[in-house]
Amino acid sequence: MNTVLEVRDLCKTYIVNKRQNNVLRNVSFTVNEGEMIGIMGPSGSGKSTLLYTVSGMDKMTAGEVFFCGKNMSAMPEKELAAVRLEDMGFIFQQMYMMKNLSVLDNIILPAVKSAKNRESNKKIEQRGRELMKRLGIEEIAGNDINEVSGGQLQRACICRSMINHPKIIFADEPTGSLNRASSEEVMEELTKLNADGTTMMIVTHDVKVASRCGKVLFIVDGNIKGDYTVDSSANSRDRERSLNHWLMEMGW
């Protein structure tokens, strides 16, 4: 089993008004290829910060992160940016789409910008359209970003996160702004992607969403308080029930 992400003693400290806030304290864990890891924990416990630092979007204060064996802590920013663009996908609510581009152009932007990608723009556009079709939003390809619903926009974000065939996708509350039905559909797609081999790290408050993961980490005050392996042989209702039970033990 190949290791995609190895996190060792990761610390992240923010300094605001000369006050230190130790948001992540010696966090260590490993993500293997093909895994789907759920991250849960109270609001403010450091879940988003964890995604930002392990993906190199934000600098770590101490510790080491290895991505496919490469030490990201020692990587120059230019190289980090290329890794993020070419090998990682992001589904972050606060990562807004470009307002002056159509939905399709937003989706294909990471591929157009990739120096590694030798495809013609026509080929990239075709792949973008195929992804949109797969997510059921092909009809909004030419729309402006503000002409689509929340659920459609979230699906568009998923398309964009997939366009460069990333090794890992980081998702921060991917269903946070969706109703139950859209949430189920989006999770269905993410689960399929994972089944096709894409490794995933998903922050969520939703037990239903987390119960689709193979493993769940519970974060409290910037530490992993516990981890839980979901019984993949159980049906969805039993997985949810056992996960709920464990979360209650964790003080959820």
Ligand X SMILES: Nc1ncnc2c1ncn2[C@@H]1O[C@H](COP(=O)(O)OP(=O)(O)O)[C@@H](O)[C@H]1O
Which residues make up the interface to Mg ion (CB under 5 A)? Answer: 48
Q: Shortest distance, CB of residue 189 to Mg ion, whole angstroms?
A: 22
From the list 76, 60, 75, the residue with the least C-alpha distance to 9 is 60
Does 202 contact ligand X by CB under 6 A? no
45 vs 199, beta carbon nearer ligand X: 45
The one among 5, 47, 204, 211 contacting ligand X by CB under 6 A: 47
# residues near ligand X by CB under 6 A: 12
Query: In the bound complex, what is the minimum distance in angstroms from residue 220's beta carbon to ligand X?
Result: 10
Report if residue 45 touches ligand X, rule: CB under 6 A: yes
CA distance 140 to 123: 19
C-alpha dihedral sign at 69, 46, 204, 9? positive
In the list 9, 20, 44, 227, the residue contacting ligand X (rule: CB under 6 A) is 44
Tell me which stretch binds ligand X (CB under 6 A): 39-47, 96-104, 127-135, 143-151. 39-47
Please, what is the minimum distance in Å from the beta carbon of residue 96 to ligand X?
A: 17
Q: What is the DSSP letter of 136?
A: T
Pairing of strands 3-16, 62-67: antiparallel
Interface with ligand X, residue 43, by CB under 6 A:
yes
Q: Does 49 bind ligand X (CB under 6 A)?
A: yes
48 binding ligand X? (CB under 6 A):
yes
Residue closest to 41 by CA, chosen among 227, 167, 191: 227
User: Least Å distance between CB 48 and Mg ion?
Assistant: 3
Strands of 17-106, DSSP E: 19-32, 36-40, 62-67, 70-71, 88-92
Using CB distances below 5 to 8 A depending on partner kind, what does residue 160 bind out of Mg ion, ligand X, none? none
Strand arrangement of the beta sheet that strand 199-203 belongs to: 88-92, 168-172, 199-203, 36-40, 215-220, 223-229
Enumerate the H helices of the chain as residue ranges: 47-54, 77-87, 103-113, 121-134, 150-162, 180-195, 207-210, 236-249
Contact residues for ligand X, defined by CB under 6 A: 14, 16, 21, 23, 41, 43-49
